[in-house]
Amino acid sequence: AADPNQTLTEAHSIAERVHKTIEASFPTVKHCMVHVNPSRKKKS
């Protein structure tokens, strides 16, 4: 889950880096999708 104190833009940026890293690190992976879920914790 995403940190509730992060912006959507920040969470998307992290997900994009994870996506690119997985596809670059595993040649047999042709495509992957990284989905960000919101945290269930309340913002502090």
How far apart are the C-alpha atoms of 39 and 23, rounded to whole Å? 26
Q: What is the mean pLDDT of residues 28-40?
A: 89
Confidence category of residue 31, pLDDT binned at 50, 70, 90: very high
pLDDT(42) > 70: no
Q: Which residues of 5-39 are buried (b: 16+ CB within 10 A; e: fewer)?
A: eeeeeebeeeeeeeeeeeeeeeeeeeeeeeeeeee
pTM above 0.85, yes or no: no
Q: What is the mean pLDDT of residues 30-36?
A: 92
pLDDT at 44: 62
Confidence category of residue 3, pLDDT binned at 50, 70, 90: confident
